[in-house]
């Protein structure tokens, strides 16, 4: 191996620079960037590209601008539409029928989590016309200005939506979103093995040890134990959260596992008797095993709603609006919710459904709460969830 002179950089000098082990000063960086053929302008552009494509307007100013924009007419319907959604979240004939009737070619792409959707849109990905965020993801899209204003004039079926699902806290006046599907989180149980559970406390009952599960989601698990002690499931109170953590760990000794959608199979086979689950999934499992019933604990629980949103960068605005109006038709909405097993916010669709999910009564509604974005407290909740899972 040849001797290295002091002036020559070592073999991996550039690499060490790149990963920051040898911090370069600003002039050195600029010199190298220029030497690499990058102009100063493109370096600035690169940094600008790391910012979201939304805007930094104050919320009031943006709301005023969007309200004005929402009244402007859209162009003619475009020949294409790009949908970005969860898999199996529309009925099999929803899209073919839309394509035939409107002469629009639809591409349907899928994501796996709200986080994946947000990561892409926040980084500035373009090309999607319709996305289907949960309420906390919707609040992020609205707050960053990534959601386009809804042109209500094109939604002639708007009056089909039940008032219960309008005007959500995360999007006042539905300026940027249309309600899509809703559901509640409760307890699915095998009526042939156990009595109907009426409290989250049943999960601490050793009689059913090894036959119970909770969802594999910190928000849902900690939320259920906050409700158990009569607190909000969006609590930021350290004392309340500590009590919820203790309750969750007590229950964990009886739990078979933290399991989400796959628990349906175990309920059907009888390996699990009581499971914290979404009502839509319980309905699907009930088709295979009629002994599966569903209960809303008396302490209350989560109600969730997913929405339809048009990203501000959508290339096919008019087609996106036509699709929104199309899914608000009673028969289309009914087919979608019959397929997904969740609730429809479309009150005209309810009567046409094979397995309608009844709206919560006003009494139930008082026990149900929407999850909201926890903002900076998210890290603390994550920490609690890690502690519970590793306890």
Partner 1 sequence: MNASGVGRLPRWLVAFTAVCLFLMHLPVLVLVAFSFNASKFAVTWTGFTFGWYRRLLERDDILHAVQASLIVGVTATLIAVVLGTLIALALARHRFRGRTVYEGMMYVPIVTPEIVTGISLLVLFVFLRLPLGLTTIIIAHVAFCIPFVVVVVLARLAGMDENLEEAAMTLGADEVTTFFRITLPLLGPGILSAALLSFILSFDDFVITSLVAGSGSSTLPLVIYSMVRRNVEPSINAISTLIVIATSVLLYASDRMSRRREATDA
Q: Which stretch binds partner 1 (CB under 8 A): 46-54, 206-214, 321-329, 352-360?
A: 46-54
- The encoded tokens of residue 55 equal 């805007």
User: Distances from the Cα of 242 to the Cαs of 222, 238, 239, 385, in angstroms?
Assistant: 10, 6, 5, 11
Q: Are 287 and 225 in contact (CB under 8 A)?
A: no
d(CA 105, CA 319): 10
Q: Could you tell me which of 237, 234, 273, 229 has the C-alpha nearest to residue 255?
A: 273
Residue 21 touches partner 1, criterion: CB under 8 A: no
355 interacts with partner 1 by CB under 8 A: no
Stretch that binds partner 1, among 6-14, 55-63, 182-190, 216-224 (CB under 8 A): 6-14
In the complex, the smallest distance separating the C-beta of residue 15 from partner 1, rounded to whole angstroms, is 5
Q: Is 44 in the site for partner 1 (CB under 8 A)?
A: no
Site string for partner 1, 281-310 (x = CB under 8 A): x--xx--x----------------------
- Closest approach, Cβ 65 to partner 1, in A, equals 24
Check binding of 111 to partner 1 (CB under 8 A).
yes
- Regarding 120 and contact with partner 1 (CB under 8 A), the answer is yes
Give the shortest CB-33-to-partner 1 separation in angstroms: 14
Report phi then psi at 318, rounded to 5: -70, -45
Is 127 a binder of partner 1 (CB under 8 A)? yes
Provide, rounded to whole angstroms, the least separation between the CB of residue 81 and partner 1: 9
Binding mask of the shown chain, residues 236 to 265, with x at each position contacting partner 1 by CB under 8 A: ------------------------xxx-xx
Structure tokens belonging to residue 233: 């499931």
Phi and psi, residue 286, nearest 5°: -60, -30
Any idea which residue has 């708007």 for tokens? 158
> Which residues inside 56-95 make contact with partner 1, applying CB under 8 A?
82, 84, 86-89, 92
Report in angstroms how near the CB of residue 237 gets to partner 1 at its nearest: 31
In the list 6, 56, 112, 354, the residue contacting partner 1 (rule: CB under 8 A) is 112
Q: Report how far residue 372's alpha carbon sits from residue 234's, in angstroms, rounded to the nearest whole number.
A: 7
User: Residue 61's CB: how many other CB atoms inside 10 A?
Assistant: 10
Closest separation in Å from C-beta 271 to partner 1: 8
**CA-CA distance, 72 to 93, in Å (whole number)?**
32
> What's the CA gap between 86 and 93, in Å, rounded?
16
Tell whether residue 192 is a contact of partner 1 (CB under 8 A): no
- How far apart CA 139 and CA 143 sit, in angstroms, is 6
Q: Are 295 and 277 in contact (CB under 8 A)?
A: no
Contact between 124 and partner 1 per CB under 8 A: yes
73 φ/ψ angles, rounded to the nearest 5 degrees: -70, 150
**Does 132 interact with partner 1 (rule: CB under 8 A)?**
no
| Nearer of residues 46 and 209 to partner 1, judged by Cβ | 46
What is Dmax (Cα atoms) for the chain? 85
The site for partner 1 (CB under 8 A) is made up of 11-15, 45-46, 49-50, 82, 84, 86-89, 92, 107-112, 116, 119-120, 123-128, 260-262, 264-266, 268-269, 271, 281, 284-285, 288, 340
């Amino acid at each position: 191996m040849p001797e290295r002179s002091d002036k020559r950089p070592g073999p991996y000098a550039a690499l060490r620079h790149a990963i920051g082990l040898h911090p370069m000063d600003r002039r050195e960086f600029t010199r190298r960037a220029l030497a690499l053929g990058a102009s100063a302008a493109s370096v600035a552009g690169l940094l600008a590209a790391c910012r979201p494509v939304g805007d930094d307007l104050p919320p009031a100013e943006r709301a005023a601008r969007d309200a004005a924009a929402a009244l402007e007419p859209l162009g003619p319907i475009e020949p294409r539409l790009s949908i970005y959604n969860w898999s199996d979240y529309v009925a099999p004939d929803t899209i073919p029928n839309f394509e035939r009737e409107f002469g629009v070619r639809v591409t349907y792409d899928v994501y796996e989590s709200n986080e994946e959707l947000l990561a892409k849109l926040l980084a500035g990905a373009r090309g999607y016309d319709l996305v289907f965020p949960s309420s906390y993801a919707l609040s992020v899209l609205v707050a960053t200005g990534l959601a386009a204003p809804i042109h209500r004039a094109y939604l002639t079926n708007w009056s089909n939506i039940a008032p219960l699902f309008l005007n959500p806290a995360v999007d006042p006046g539905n300026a940027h979103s249309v309600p899509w599907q809703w559901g509640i989180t409760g307890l699915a149980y095998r009526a042939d093995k156990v009595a109907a559970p009426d409290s989250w406390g049943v999960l601490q009952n050793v009689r059913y040890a090894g036959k119970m599960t909770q969802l594999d989601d910190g928000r849902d698990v900690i939320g259920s134990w906050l409700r158990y002690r009569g607190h909000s499931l969006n609590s930021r109170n350290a004392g309340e959260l500590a009590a919820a953590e203790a309750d969750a760990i007590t229950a964990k000794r009886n739990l078979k596992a933290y399991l989400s959608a796959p628990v349906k199979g175990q309920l059907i086979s009888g390996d699990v008797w009581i499971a914290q689950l979404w009502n839509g999934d319980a309905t699907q499992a009930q088709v295979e095993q009629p002994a599966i019933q569903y209960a809303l604990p008396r302490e209350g629980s989560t109600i969730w709603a997913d929405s339809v949103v048009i990203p501000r960068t959508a290339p096919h605005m008019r087609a996106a609006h036509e699709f929104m109006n199309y899914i608000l038709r009673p028969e289309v909405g009914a087919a979608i919710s019959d397929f997904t097993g969740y609730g429809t916010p479309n009150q005209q669709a309810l009567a046409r459904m094979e397995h309608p999910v009844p709206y919560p009564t006003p009494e139930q509604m008082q026990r149900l709460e929407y999850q909201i974005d926890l903002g900076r407290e998210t890290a603390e909740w994550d920490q609690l969830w890690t502690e519970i899972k590793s306890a």
